[in-house]
Structure 1
Amino acid sequence: MEPLARSPLFRNLPPLLLLLLPLAGSGGRTVAARGSFWHITDLHWDPSYTVTDNPGLVCASTGTRPAPNAGRFGHYHCDSPWDLIDSSINAMKVILPEPDFIIWTGDDTPHVPNEQLGEEAVLSIVGNLTRLLQLAFPKTKVYSALGNHDYHPKSQMPPGQSTMYEQMAQLWQDWLEPESQRTFQSGGYYSEQLLNKTGYRVLVLNTNLYYDQNKLTENVADPAGQFEWMDNILTRAAQKNEKAYIVGHVPPGFFEKKRSKPWFRPDFNRRYLELVQKHHAVIYGQFFGHHHTDSFRMFYDLQGNPISTIFITPGVTPWKTTLPGVEDGANNPGIRVFNYDPSTLLVEDSVTYYLNLTYANAMRERWEKEYRLCEAFQVPDASPSSMHAVLERLAGTGCDLQKYYEFNSVSYDLSACDADCRVDHICAIREVDFERYEQCLLREGTAATPLAFIPLLIPTALTIYCAAL
């Protein structure tokens, strides 16, 4: 508990953060007309982080990579130090101190071998972060989902009851209703009335059961019965005229920074897609993490109409992924506010805030607005039709794609998104289905839009041209 005693929550709030308070609302409508909630994900606290002159001894999560010039708030080769996590929660408290609720989509332990953790260490890390959120937002409902790193061994979520599910439910007992505790203990998932309001529902899934690295579910048709449960919950939601949000950690589809890299096993991916297509009329938003990047995924009906969107919120950890084939997979720490219509659950907008890690280490911590979705991409809201329009803008113009690409790493990677980069991102966003994704790669790989064609051939020209607009 020592880290909590050092929390800025018990000290005066940084004056610079107070300047961010007006940014949580909307310029077009009054704040009172909107609901707002936080989404925070992928904190990946590394308790071993130490600022030292020896770049090889900064943190366990570097692996064999050195971390030269590491600072108080972290390093791009490391997972989050406590000061970074504390700073992110403190920024949430200052920017939007009274959210309607908070979505927390997991991955709390560092990227280290299983031998360096253990059940007790995982539960201790999740417990510390749970208490930090509770201290910052004591009256706020938190809908918390398990990440694949919130278990020991990591990613090996069992398709049935386990002691770790039970202990995690105990940590989150203040947030879970009795029925939620029961289903969570049996499979790590649950559903509740959103904010105890009639007609509103949230499904918090354990999609780690579908992760292709989970050996325990490799030959299981419906791990923990979650697909059947999800189908039943959404069927009853339709009968009751309920509107639902879906929350999870590992999303279906493909990773936009590595071509043809899926997360789900094929059958699980297909079943998830079919359930969204079947129940899209009651699904008003899907919120996931895992990528550490900022992106989204589109779902379409059989006629090609946009029916649902997954919003992938960037992570707090700046850790540069070691996934083979990803050239520069670091990011600046990010957190996100979603605005929604309380009468319909329509997602109206989002605002992403970030910490420029280089600036924070050299000068001072400064969480600032990175961008507002509707403002940046000129759409009226964040409905599926509007997000489809965003996708069309990305696919059709070099500068919108470049803007999105820089947001994708939370303003860390400012290099040009070339032709291959364009294909990887557009197809990952457009096609969750495995077969259609491969078809998209072939189709988009031979296509070039009039505006994007020349800049994509000359990456430097793209960045100069777009910056001048």
Structure 2
Amino acid sequence: MAGRIAFSIAALAAVMLPLAGAHAQQTAAPLQPGPDEGLFLIVTDIHFDPFTEPSLVPKLDRSPVSDWSAIFKTGTGGNPRGYNHDAGYFLTRSALEAAAAQNMTYDYVLYTGDYLSHDFNSKYQALAGPSPQGHASFAIKTARYVSHLLSETFAGSPILGVMGNTDSACGDYEIAPDSAFTAGLKDQWAALSRQPDRFDRFRTGGYYKVAHPTLADQDIIALNNIFWTPRYSDRCNSGGGDPGGAMMTWLKKQLEQTRQEGRKAQILLHVPPGFNAYSTVRGSGPCDSRLSPFWHERYSKGFLDLMREYSGIVDYTFSGHTHMDSFAIINDTDGTPLIASQITPAVSPIFGNNPAFAVFLYNRTSGDLLDSATFYLSNLAAAAQGAPPDWQLEYVYRSTYSLQDLSPASRSALASRIKSDTLPRQQFTELYAVKAPDNPIDSSNWQAYACAQSAVSEDAYEACYCKAN
């Protein structure tokens, strides 16, 4: 495997967050920026679990975020946990230190959501002890701690994040508009963006728009699109109106402003557009009744209409949520590829994937994505038993798939090849769950995943998948 990079959890004495152990094996960076080129990092879906050592939870609950690292270091559980668990302190530290150890300088860092672990509130209630400070306070501190680790590890880079479905003091898919949770993150996230004056809408809905950190004529629009999902509930703020519709209206206004100023935009969101192939293939009944959209049809249609109306303004979106490595293409009504939607694999291995992060090479003048490299924890099961975590380069996108770049047109061509050609289909299948032993894609269901890459509207996905089955 090209570019193998072995990384021990204690290898990086020179890195900002040192742990004890063997030395890291350094190799040449797999992506080498040329003139007018740069790199950025995407980390997503850590699902930080502060409950891995129950005895520490009451002290964490009473302590400020600045003390949390020292508290975690007093614990005895020094190994990452295995599959089907979220990321605790040691896996999170290991992943971030591995990202910092690749001999690459990142212009900025994107975090596409899910700071908190699954079942967060129930675990807190069970483990907080006799004098709990409250689950809302603990949820805010946990999300702030993840951002603290990101800023500490990548101190020279702006950090831009979005809300995920677990990121709420209320519950999963229950982020409330104008909540204590968004208020508790606003100042920290604004400071990490280096553009604190751009966060005027953040407390209201958890979304914002900033100037791109390096591209003089581009913006980054960060959405809280949990509001657009079928599972969203407003039970903690039933008087919040229609936050999904309000955000769609706000998005249209931002796109219009961007166009009037002669600029372009990239969009950050947690839940990708299109269809959940994993849920679709596990449904029952007729094919059309098994289709599982990521978003409500109303919001999906509204978003697609906006992307077509503002064609040429947005070329890329970045998301996470699935924990897997994939992409989707948004096409114009005539089939022309407009937008490449990147879906980056997760740090949390709770859904059977190997932990991962991705680095992207881009043109600092146009913003075009030129290539990417994905790194993964290759020995999660052994690391859970005490072996040094071994982070490796999994693959480089262009050379693996024989692409010219990562443009919408190139990704669209790849999606067609995956449907028709055995080799790229096998490559995509192997890489989807980051080379994990339990891969959800097989010969009986691959069409659902392939169709999700090129058909994001309900009619298009039904025509692609149901026709094939």
Q: Same fold (TM over 0.5)?
A: yes
Q: Name the SS of the counterpart of 2:318 in structure 1.
A: strand
Among residues 408, 426, 438, which one is paired with 2:432 in the alignment? 408
Among residues 451, 454, 458, which one is paired with 1:427 in the alignment? 451
Alignment pair present for 1:135 and 2:142: no
Post-superposition offset of 1:161:
2.1
Post-superposition offset of 1:171:
2.8
Q: Name the SS of the counterpart of 2:400 in structure 1.
A: helix
State the distance in 1 between where 2:190 and 2:365 align.
Answer: 28
Q: Name the residue aligned to 1:87.
A: 94
Q: Name the SS of the counterpart of 2:254 in structure 1.
A: helix
Deviations 1:250-270 (A, max 9, x none): 122112222122221110111
Post-superposition offset of 1:200:
1.4
Q: Name the SS of the counterpart of 2:80 in structure 1.
A: coil
Deviations 1:62-109 (A, max 9, x none): xxxxxxxx9812211211121110011101111155311000112121
Equivalent residue runs for 1:245-256 within 5 Å: 245-256=266-277
Equivalent residue runs for 1:262-301 within 5 Å: 262-301=293-332
- 1:429 maps to a residue whose letter is Q
Larger RCO, structures 1/2 (Cα 8 Å, 6+ apart) = 2
State the distance in 1 between where 2:448 and 2:404 align.
Answer: 26
Q: Name the residue aligned to 1:216.
A: 234
Q: Name the residue aligned to 2:419.
A: 395
State the distance in 2 between where 1:204 and 1:250 align.
Answer: 12
- 1:83 maps to a residue whose letter is F
Q: Name the residue aligned to 1:166.
A: 183
Deviations 1:400-419 (A, max 9, x none): 11210111101004669444
Deviations 1:164-197 (A, max 9, x none): 2111102323124344321101110000111165
Q: 1:97 to 1:349 in 2, by over 3 A?
A: closer
Q: Name the SS of the counterpart of 1:335 in structure 2.
A: strand
Alignment pair present for 1:37 and 2:40: yes
State the distance in 2 between where 1:178 and 1:38 align.
Answer: 21
Q: 1:270 to 1:343 in 2, by over 3 A?
A: same
**Is 362-371 or 404-413 further displaced after alignment?**
362-371
Query: Contact 1:298/1:431 (CA < 8 Å) preserved in 2?
Result: yes
- 2:232 maps to a residue whose letter is N
Post-superposition offset of 1:122:
1.1
Among residues 51, 55, 65, which one is paired with 1:48 in the alignment? 51
Q: Name the residue aligned to 2:108.
A: 101
Q: Name the SS of the counterpart of 1:121 in structure 2.
A: helix
Deviations 1:317-364 (A, max 9, x none): 0102xxxxxxxxx10000000111111001111110000212434532
Alignment pair present for 1:438 and 2:459: no
State the distance in 1 between where 2:188 and 2:102 align.
Answer: 26
Q: 1:10 to 1:300 in 2, by over 3 A?
A: closer
State the distance in 1 between where 2:339 and 2:414 align.
Answer: 14
Q: Name the residue aligned to 1:56.
A: none
State the distance in 2 between where 1:9 and 1:91 align.
Answer: 12
Q: 1:361 to 1:266 in 2, by over 3 A?
A: same
Q: Name the residue aligned to 1:188.
A: 206
Post-superposition offset of 1:211:
1.6
Consecutive aligned runs of 4 or more in structure 1 exceeding 6 Å deviation = 12-15
**Is 39-48 or 233-242 further displaced after alignment?**
233-242
Post-superposition offset of 1:316:
0.1
- 1:122 maps to a residue whose letter is A
State the distance in 1 between where 2:377 and 2:342 align.
Answer: 20
Query: Contact 2:272/2:294 (CA < 8 Å) preserved in 1?
Result: yes
Q: Name the SS of the counterpart of 2:279 in structure 1.
A: coil
Query: Contact 1:17/1:366 (CA < 8 Å) preserved in 2?
Result: no
Q: Name the residue aligned to 2:250.
A: 229
Among the aligned pairs, what percent are the same residue?
A: 24
Post-superposition offset of 1:113:
5.5
State the distance in 1 between where 2:104 and 2:50 align.
Answer: 27
Alignment pair present for 1:347 and 2:369: yes
> Normalized against structure 2, the TM-score is what?
0.81
- 1:348 maps to a residue whose letter is L
- 1:229 maps to a residue whose letter is W
Post-superposition offset of 1:435:
2.1
Query: Contact 2:107/2:214 (CA < 8 Å) preserved in 1?
Result: no
C-alpha RMSD of matched pairs (Å) = 2.6
- 1:309 maps to a residue whose letter is A
Q: Name the SS of the counterpart of 2:389 in structure 1.
A: coil
Deviations 1:227-263 (A, max 9, x none): 1111111112122221211101112211222212222
Q: Name the residue aligned to 2:403.
A: 379
Query: Contact 1:394/1:400 (CA < 8 Å) preserved in 2?
Result: yes
Q: Name the residue aligned to 1:153.
A: 170
Query: Contact 2:223/2:267 (CA < 8 Å) preserved in 1?
Result: yes
**Is 36-45 or 227-236 further displaced after alignment?**
227-236
Q: 1:415 to 1:97 in 2, by over 3 A?
A: closer
Q: Name the residue aligned to 1:77.
A: 84
Q: 1:100 to 1:440 in 2, by over 3 A?
A: same
> Normalized against structure 1, the TM-score is what?
0.81
The unaligned stretches of length 5 or more in structure 1 are 1-5, 52-69, 321-329, 446-469
- 1:355 maps to a residue whose letter is L
State the distance in 2 between where 1:278 and 1:417 align.
Answer: 35
Q: 1:433 to 1:92 in 2, by over 3 A?
A: same
State the distance in 1 between where 2:350 and 2:439 align.
Answer: 18
State the distance in 1 between where 2:273 and 2:224 align.
Answer: 12
Among residues 335, 338, 359, which one is paired with 2:360 in the alignment? 338
Query: Contact 1:334/1:355 (CA < 8 Å) preserved in 2?
Result: yes
Q: Name the SS of the counterpart of 2:424 in structure 1.
A: helix
Q: 1:19 to 1:125 in 2, by over 3 A?
A: same
Q: Name the SS of the counterpart of 1:156 in structure 2.
A: coil
Q: 1:90 to 1:31 in 2, by over 3 A?
A: farther
Alignment pair present for 1:358 and 2:361: no
Post-superposition offset of 1:18:
4.6
Post-superposition offset of 1:15:
7.0
Q: Name the SS of the counterpart of 2:412 in structure 1.
A: helix
Q: Name the residue aligned to 2:132.
A: none
The unaligned stretches of length 5 or more in structure 2 are 1-11, 55-76, 125-134, 281-290
State the distance in 2 between where 1:410 and 1:317 align.
Answer: 12
Q: 1:12 to 1:419 in 2, by over 3 A?
A: closer
